[in-house]
Amino acid sequence: MGAVSASVGQGVTLLAAYSLRLGLPFLAAAAFTGALLQRSSALRRLGRPLQVEAGSVMVLAGLAIATRQLSAFSYWLLDTFPALGEIG
């Protein structure tokens, strides 16, 4: 019976550690929500221009794929900005 209660105790400990690690990001998000809401007006002002920029990049990427120039563009980026080769 002692081995069973020891394994149950270990299971409870592991479950508590798992639950704590699972809950920490949610607690952090709740703690910083107020600050994020205060800055949301600045984010709203930038939202539309960022959407237009992102859409333009997506259209250009689609054209590069359709014209089979994506690889050439990738090599140009690496030649122009060698630091990009260090990422990932």
33-73 pLDDT, tens digit per residue, is 887 777 777 777 788 888 999 999 999 999 999 999 999 98
pTM of the model: 0.46
pLDDT of residue 72: 93
Q: What are phi and psi of 7, to 5 degrees?
A: -70, -30
Please give the angle made by the CA atoms of 42, 57 and 37, to the nearest 5 degrees. 20
Locate 71 and state its tokens: 């690889």
Q: How does DSSP assign 41-83, residue by residue?
A: HHHHHHHHHHHHHHHHHHHHHHHHHHTT-HHHHHHHHHHH-GG
Give the mean pLDDT of the chain.
87
Judge if 50 and 20 occupy the same domain: no
Residue with tokens 């107020």: 34
Q: Which residue has the higher pLDDT, 81 or 46?
A: 81
Judge if 64 and 30 occupy the same domain.
Answer: no
Same domain, 17 and 50: no
Residue 54's domain comprises 44-88
